[in-house]
Structure 1
């Protein structure tokens, strides 16, 4: 299942300690900080939850070049990030707790920026989705016209869960479920939404206004009120009794779980009931504080970044650079499997690609069948490939010497130590790895088959 989370990312900082005295300058507690946790917030938190559940997740977002953005990226281990430039500083939300009691939250750079652009890579990642979560945190990505047009097209075939924000964009028509909390529903509908009748009225107003298939108004410990277009009768789905010390992340957990259950084919009511129970379980286990810290460096998907630059950036953050090489003439399933296996070994995958002249010298005058630019474009279209570096020589040694990958991968049934590049790669501390070779799937077999039908 390919899950895509689309939305704004934040850096959440939690400061926890004890308060045993008052400040001499003012009657406020002094918190002796004993623990500092930094984690990806907003859409980043949704993606992290799904990755921790074992799902294959792509986060489509925009990122700045500031230190907070690097912190966010470092906390997104296990998540594929496809990002464009944000044009604004990364918001930082710092929560201070004394024991189990919140003391204050400090927000930095949280003003609403201009609507960011969407790169071709971002749109491609959304287009390939099997289920989408929109985690709108009011920073403008969900208002991007190209993204909205694509989501509107996908809504008929792909489950989309839209978690709205008071300062965010209106959901596109046709999404599976929109999940406002009670305050968000009241504000969006312009109704007090305090009594059960008022909450139901607000939900029906939003159902008509947003043209979604369903609206789920979440009500904290009271569960949720589900309204659908086919059946206007509201369904109140209770939440199990839960001792909650920190409600942060409950809406993110619910949206993430709901998307998974819808993608697995469950009906809306069953999916909502499961999601509410899982959100309650998440809070009962400690909420966001129960999530393990992940500071494994991740990668930013930027098609305009050259291969050496990508390698330097990933290595500077402590990440693992993986490279592989070959002609990749007539891309086939064997190539795709080998490349996917290689990508799983590190934080980015760079393909060293033989140029047209190099292929002719190695394979003969009839090759390559596909030009180097088209071969590079096809490789970059694979989600497991982060960059391509074309080389003119007969061997990739000069290319490798410039990239200096941590891992060099080849497909084959021989020992890694027997690879001709092994000595070079090991000279800078790298290692060589082989992944299974699929003999029944090769360019020669494919070319012969095409010749018979031409």
Structure 2
């Protein structure tokens, strides 16, 4: 069965987070001195939207403009693992946005690159991709892709039969008539409506009529969104219980909202009110989980490459389900892989047609196991697991429990060791709610990571222990 194809069309940027500490002021100016600890990279703009869509398991084609500079090469490397690229020529350098951050707070942003997409021509493959799509998300960042003449013609031709979601930009092109949903934020809606003090409902109604589109959803951050359609104009609140707390990084929330909306429409997610409600929930959860900053990958030599993207696991699940197979998942830290781990994985794989392993991130392991753990980085742990024949995919999660990742994976069987017998796993309710079941398998006696580490630190040759 052919998977339905989502086309993300728009301008791709390179986002860089420079992270460090600031404990002193510069002697010649009252500004903080940032001691850089790491630099992390991620696709921005339409690239972020495409990456988010791929994480949901969609078959994603990204139509964008890429140059031939170092920033473009890094973007191609970040994106090429999870999406198919159809590129247009870029006139000028790739746009790069660099945030300098300390303790989770942005101190400064530096923008570089003046690149713009060519306004016409060189778009045959891109036009074909649009016509072959099951849905299109236009992520316009004002750099010319959404204004491309042939692409706009193709979008106008499909808008009456394929859902088109348009995330607009003040310096970008107007949405094509017939688009299913346009998703400006509150400030953008006021600018588009040429009335800075416009009520979001009034602005949404005005823009829907002016653009001749089916719906306009004005996103309002922690207040949800305002939806205007021909049938209603209504506020859609953030669901109770998932509002982010503490210091909030909202970078990429608009992309998360638009991506959730277009995937819901492609999957037949009901009317626009239901679609927008689902998108509000997804965007809020995205911000609560750390927003786009949580997706950034560190600059590192090849052996220390970041963990496999979660999209791989979701795509594996999608393929197996479409073929009518059984998806099995298990999870843990897997710090210092030992025979007990291998036995559990082999038993788990025998229960179904694909095994997805959910692995705690480094920070998650530290919270669970304390200082000094993990012994092996997430990248190394993932690499070892992927090398095992019985493992089909690996997903890394940063929370203390895999509840959030299981909400998306929805395995048919969740496997844990029988040492959990008599205890209610926090993730069991999620698995059962989606129709799955929990299976406990026997453990290999006298093998554990804790015992192995203890023995190694004590200098013993017999590094086996019954310690859990």
Q: Is the 8 A contact 1:6 1:133 kept in 2?
A: yes
Contact 1:62 1:116 in 2 (8 A): no
Alpha carbons 1:203, 1:215 under 8 Å: kept: yes
Alignment map for 1:210-249 (pairs within 5 Å): 210-229=211-230, 231=231, 233-240=232-239, 241-243=243-245, 245-249=248-252
Written as runs of structure 1 = structure 2, the 5 A alignment for 1:15-26 is: 15-26=18-29
Q: Deviations over 1:377-422 (max 9, x none)?
A: xxxxxxxxxxxxxxxxxxxxxxxxxxxxxxxxxxxxxxxxxxxxxx
Secondary structure in 1 aligned to 2:146?
helix
Assess if the C-alpha contact under 8 Å between 2:88 and 2:117 holds in 1.
Answer: no
Question: Which sections of structure 2, spanning at least 5 residues, go unmatched?
Answer: 301-468
Distance in 2 of aligned mates of 1:88 and 1:188: 28
Number of the residue aligned with 1:3: 6
Provide the residue aligned with 2:208 in structure 1: 207
- The separation in 1 between residues aligned to 2:93 and 2:146, in whole angstroms, is 18
Secondary structure, aligned partner of 2:244: coil
Q: How does 1:378-389 map to 2 (within 5 A)?
A: none
Q: Is the 8 A contact 2:90 2:116 kept in 1?
A: no
TM-score, normalization by structure 2:
0.60
Q: For residue 173 of structure 2, what is the aligned residue in structure 1?
A: 169
CA-CA distance at 1:294 after TM superposition: 9.0
7 and 41 in structure 1: CA distance in 2 versus 1, 3 angstrom threshold: same
Residue in 1 that maps onto 2:91: 87
Is 2:43 aligned against 1:45?
no
For 2:275 and 2:291, locate their aligned partners in 1 and report how far apart those are by CA, in whole Å. 21
From 262, 280, 292, the equivalent of 1:259 is: 262
Equivalences for residues 411-430 of structure 1 within 5 A: none
- Which whole-Å CA distance do the structure 2 matches of 1:294 and 1:264 have between them? 34
**Counterparts of 1:33-432 in structure 2 under 5 Å?**
33-76=36-79, 77-110=81-114, 115=119, 117-193=121-197, 198-229=199-230, 231=231, 233-240=232-239, 241-243=243-245, 245-265=248-268, 266-291=270-295, 293=297
Q: Deviations over 1:14-36 (max 9, x none)?
A: 01111101111211111111121
Contact 2:146/2:173 (8 A) holds in 1? yes
Aligned length: 291
Tell me how far apart the structure 1 counterparts of residues 18 and 40 of structure 2 sit (CA, whole Å): 7
TM-score (norm 1): 0.62
Q: What stretches of structure 1 of length at least 5 have no aligned partner?
A: 297-454
Give the SS at the match of 1:75: helix
Shift, 1:147, TM fit: 0.7
Whole-angstrom CA distance in 2 between matches of 1:293 and 1:54: 20
1: CA distance, partners of 2:184 / 2:9 = 17
- 2: distance between equivalents of 1:135 and 1:255? 8
Look at both structures and tell me which one has the larger radius of gyration over its CA atoms: 1
Structure 1 pair 19–184 and aligned structure 2 pair: CA distance change class (3 A): same
Q: Separation in 2 of the partners of 1:223 and 1:139?
A: 28
The Cα offsets for residues 277-318 of structure 1, whole Å up to 9 and x where unpaired, read as 01100110111122263999xxxxxxxxxxxxxxxxxxxxxx
- SS in structure 2 opposite 1:104? strand
